[in-house]
Amino acid sequence: MRHSIYGRSESQDAFTDLLFNALLGFAFMFVAAFSLMADPTEGGNVESKAEILVTVRWADRHPDDVDTLVEGPGGNLVWYRNRDTGLMHLDRDDRGLFQDRVTLDGKVVSNPINQETVTLRALKPGEYVVNVLHYQANYPEPLPVSIKVEKLNPKVELVYYGTRELTGVGDEQTAVRFTVGANGEVTGTNEMRKNLLVKVAGRKA
């Protein structure tokens, strides 16, 4: 067997070359994979799906039907018959116990939560009005309803939280009116009453 000037055989040289090539291949794959990874400095840049979240809640398992109406700048109105208008969207129309069912593990069960949500996907400067309507009542006692408005970006901020006692079918109350400035900040809130039902026609079937 022929030896090299360094005292190693050709078989040892071949093994060394094979090992080197294998390591080189792994290094190449690592560099290629790393180059495909996203810039870690962009990890927090998640595209927002909503700027403002309006949440209306009343007692779990309560049979009454409460509607949420939100008017945006320019008079656009979102409610159960117009769930998507401009930059506003009614994500959930809760009708009390009516059709309040969800499927879990293949079984249909009752959903006890009474909650409606409206999202504003972008902020247009101007005034927004949030009203609640007692659409269907089953008891003579007033129904307490909580209303929460949150600004989600760049961090979650509470714009408004309060309660209203709805007193029966057709009772519409203004929860809050808030103004959004040109910079996207909420510049003021008030609870001055404004009836939005005059903007809509018809009732639920």
The answer to whether the pTM exceeds 0.75 is: no
Report how far apart, in Å, the C-alpha atoms of 147 and of each of 8, 20, 184 are: 82, 67, 21
Q: What is the pLDDT of residue 4?
A: 47
List, in sequence order, every residue forming a beta bridge with 107; answer none if it has no partner: 104
Would you state the torsion angle of the CA atoms of residues 20, 23, 28, 29, taken in this order, to the nearest 10 degrees? 150
Domain boundaries along the sequence of the chain: 10-40, 52-197
pLDDT, position 6:
41
Asked if 70 contacts 129 with a C-beta cutoff of 8 angstroms, the reply is yes
Residue found by looking up tokens 């180059």 in the block: 35
Predicted local distance difference test score (pLDDT) of residue 109? 57
Cβ contact 203:79 at 8 Å: no
- Nearest residue to 82 (alpha-carbon basis) of 128, 165, 98, 72: 72
Give the pLDDT score at 45: 42
Helix (DSSP H) and strand (DSSP E) numbers for the chain? 1, 13
The CATH class for the domain spanning 52-197 reads mainly beta
pLDDT of residue 110: 62
- Contact, 177 vs 186, CB < 8 A? no
Q: What number of other Cβ atoms are within 10 A of residue 124's Cβ?
A: 16
63 DSSP 8-state letter: -
**pLDDT confidence of residue 135:** 92
Q: Is the peptide bond before 154 cis (omega within 30 degrees of 0)?
A: yes
Q: Where are the beta strands (DSSP E) in the chain?
A: 52-58, 65-71, 77-78, 84-85, 88-92, 101-104, 107-110, 114-120, 126-136, 143-151, 157-166, 172-180, 186-190
- pLDDT average per 10 residues of sequence, the chain (205 residues): 49 62 63 50 51 95 93 92 89 58 61 88 95 94 97 95 97 97 94 86 46
The pLDDT, as a whole number, for residue 117 is: 94
pLDDT at 203: 46
- What does the pLDDT read at residue 49? 76
